[in-house]
Amino acid sequence: MEHIGQIFRPPSEANSLLLQISLGCSHNKCTYCAMYDHPDQKFRIKKWETIAADIAEAAQYSQQVRPIQRVFLCDGDALILPQDFLEKIMRELKEQIPSVRRIGIYGDARSILRKSPEQLATLKKLGLGIVYHGVETGHDKTLLKIQKGSTAAEAVQSAQLLRNAGIRHSVIVMLGIGGKENSLAHAQATAEILTQMDPPFVGALTTTLVPGTPLFEEGENGQFELPDPWDMLEELRIIIRESNLSRCRFHSNHASNYLPLSLNLPTDKEKALMQLDQVLDRRDGEDLKPDFLRGL
């Protein structure tokens, strides 16, 4: 199995076959992101022969050792690959590894909106079960600043397209990404966009300034100020309180977060708000995950 560079995958794909079909990210401009800054991981699509050989190797494993049920297609925004190429890969997976029940992939508004409803329906038929989408914020001013390459309205449109195709949507938002200056506006706009998107999964991550990224530089020269942990929890409280989700598994238990929560919304809303209120009222550092455990 050929894996070039560092492989990233969502936590829920821990037991999946990680099939690398492209390298890096076609966008690679988000100011906080250092995922694919290694020169080996400059964006490119892998050769069919390499991918086919990896699928053949995985098929053998699946037959002889343990049936593979889930596959995650790497890298960054693999959904941006041409439709016929994605279909070819998924057909091969279906044929060679019939035990596969679900295929997952990273996508964003740019890649989702390039697909027609028919194309998404075909991918769904071929096994695409879930798209992981870093929406980060619903605040357009922040989206522009972090060079996300898409708007809040486009993220909402993406959610609609995926829902219509029957593909699950896992949305990631980032606490603190608006900086101290736009903390409140970011949280309110994020609650608003989540309500409009109404995804079945949401993960809230905490922004960290990674050396080498433009956002880190902005932090160093005073153009960006990261909200403190309490302000980030206040953001989380606003997002949970003001969003209106019909049925959502909501996590804030990423390694980067100060207060891990794992909720079913709306059922656990009041309980979560009470917990956040208590922590925010006490403002006791003992309630927060220490930095050395935050996987920074």
**Residues engaged in binding ligand SF4 (CB under 6 A):** 25, 27-30, 33, 35-36, 76-77, 108, 134
Written as one letter, the residue type at 39 is P
Helix/strand/coil (H, E, C) string of the chain? CCCCCCCCCCHHHCCCEEEECEECCCCCCCCCCCCCCCHHHCCEECCHHHHHHHHHHHHHHHHHCCCCCEEEEECCCHHHCCHHHHHHHHHHHHHHCCCCCEEEEEECHHHHHCCCHHHHHHHHHCCEEEEEEEEECCCHHHHHHCCCCCCHHHHHHHHHHHHHHCCEEEEEEEECCCCCCCHHHHHHHHHHHHHHHCCCEEEEEECCCCCCCHHHHHHHCCCCCCCCHHHHHHHHHHHHHHCCCCCEEEECCCCCCCCCCEEEECCCHHHHHHHHHHHHHHCCHHHCCCHHHCCC
Task: Note if the bond before 11 is cis, omega within 30 degrees.
Answer: no
Give min distance, CB of 136 to ligand SF4, in A: 8
Pick between residue 36 and residue 250 the one whose CB is nearest to ligand SF4. 36
Q: Least distance to ligand SF4 from the beta carbon of 37, Å?
A: 9
Place of tokens 């798209």: 131
Q: How far apart are CA 82 and CA 85, in angstroms?
A: 5
- Given the complex with ligand SF4, which of 133 and 251 has the nearer CB atom? 133
The least distance separating ligand SF4 from the CB of residue 255, rounded to whole angstroms, comes to 17
Smallest gap from Cβ 237 to ligand SF4, in A, equals 25
Instruction: Name the minimum Å distance from CB 59 to ligand SF4.
Output: 29
Based on CB atoms, which residue is closest to ligand SF4, 77 or 235?
77
Backbone torsions φ then ψ of 128, nearest 5 degrees: -65, 115
Q: Provide, rounded to whole angstroms, the least separation between the CB of residue 149 and ligand SF4.
A: 7
Minimal distance, residue 23 CB to ligand SF4, in Å: 11
Q: Of 55 and 177, which CB lies nearer to ligand SF4 in the complex structure? A: 177
Decide whether 27 or 251 has the Cβ nearer to ligand SF4.
27
Which residue, 27 or 70, is less far from ligand SF4 as judged by CB? 27
**Between 80 and 90, CB nearer to ligand SF4:** 80
